[in-house]
Chain A
């Protein structure tokens, strides 16, 4: 281990960076790396990579998705044959279920009824209701739309790209973060949340639902960040 040091390649340096193969070997390799500016550069790159990965903001599940999960679990609960075991002793204690339990059961039942079409058809359920949106609320709605994909006909990437190319060429290259059908100030539309390419930057565009290769209308647009 004390002879002439051979340069470490990227794979070896990545292993070193990860603490492989063991402490003794890692220590020896670190000595080699410290003497080699190129190796130090690679280690810096790996550190920058780890830092960038660690800086990722934790994504929030969209409310519609959470509602779907809740509905799925409520359906499981409803399908449970009067409880797989006996009901808990606490629940049998009195003639009336405790308020918390009652509320939970009622909520579950409502959720099941409301989302029955969703459960059992994971990912292809009935579209969520179309929210009415005022122009001043666009940014707030956009924030909660990231990760939502209720795009109507614009779910077709080709159609969506053609729409944007036609009506808003500067947005045609921006990537979609989410979208939903809306009624904007009384007019049906599809709100698209697009990544501008800068950290935290959003381009919020609302187009008419029929937008496509033949054109369409931009109902509203705003850039954030």
Chain B
């Protein structure tokens, strides 16, 4: 599939896939599946929905490869597809409500909130309580570490919109994570 001297670039792999190379898209998926999984699991808050969203996204990308115009990088395009799959699931209430991660499975008692907020799960729970648009912006910028401009490209919104969503999301998270008391101090 690829010359031994160098791996194919993403766009080359996508082009090879469009040309019928049976291995090209699989290689592309392997490059980014971990990252796509991270976006999905952090956005949706549970692994079942994340697994479904990434699968939908990969299959959609596989089928829509011909529609890729190159106005964004293949990586951004894949990120966009998985983010849209997550948004679609949330807006159509296809996110499971009985899986163990969401709030209803939380313990009734928490001996020490300070310890609780220090855990990885606390971040996931807090994110789940943030409105979806803010949550996604925060996931992309603060958790995934993407530049604001990349997040804007993924979401197809202006940079200022991403910043605004991040600002509101962080203010909410600061309270939820115990760094700030409600209504400020």
Binding site for B on A (CB under 8 A): 9-11, 13-15, 17-21, 38, 41-42, 44-46, 48-50, 52-54, 56-62, 65-66, 68-70, 72-73, 76-77, 80, 83-88, 91, 100-101, 104-105, 108, 122-123, 147-149, 157, 160, 172-178, 195, 197-199
Binding site for A on B (CB under 8 A): 1, 16, 18-23, 25-26, 29, 33-35, 37-38, 41-42, 47-49, 51-52, 54-56, 58-59, 62-63, 66, 98-101, 104-110, 112, 115-116, 118-121, 123, 138, 142-143, 145, 160, 163-164, 166-168, 170-171, 173-174, 177, 179-180, 183-185
CB pair B26 A104 closer than 8 Å: yes
Residues of chain B within 8 A of A157, CB atoms compared: 98, 100, 104-105
The answer for the CA separation of A104 and B170 in the assembled complex, in Å, is 45
CB pair A148 B47 closer than 8 Å: yes
Residues of chain B within 8 A of A52, CB atoms compared: 123, 177, 179
CB pair B164 A15 closer than 8 Å: yes
Majority SS of interface residues in chain B?
Answer: helix
Residues of chain B within 8 A of A45, CB atoms compared: 174, 179-180
**In whole Å, how far is A3's beta carbon from the nearest beta carbon of chain B?**
23
Select which of A19, A69, A149, A175 is within 8 A of B121 by beta carbon: A175
CB pair B143 A56 closer than 8 Å: yes
The answer for the CA separation of A13 and B143 in the assembled complex, in Å, is 20
**In whole Å, how far is B125's beta carbon from the nearest beta carbon of chain A?**
9
The answer for the CA separation of A44 and B179 in the assembled complex, in Å, is 8
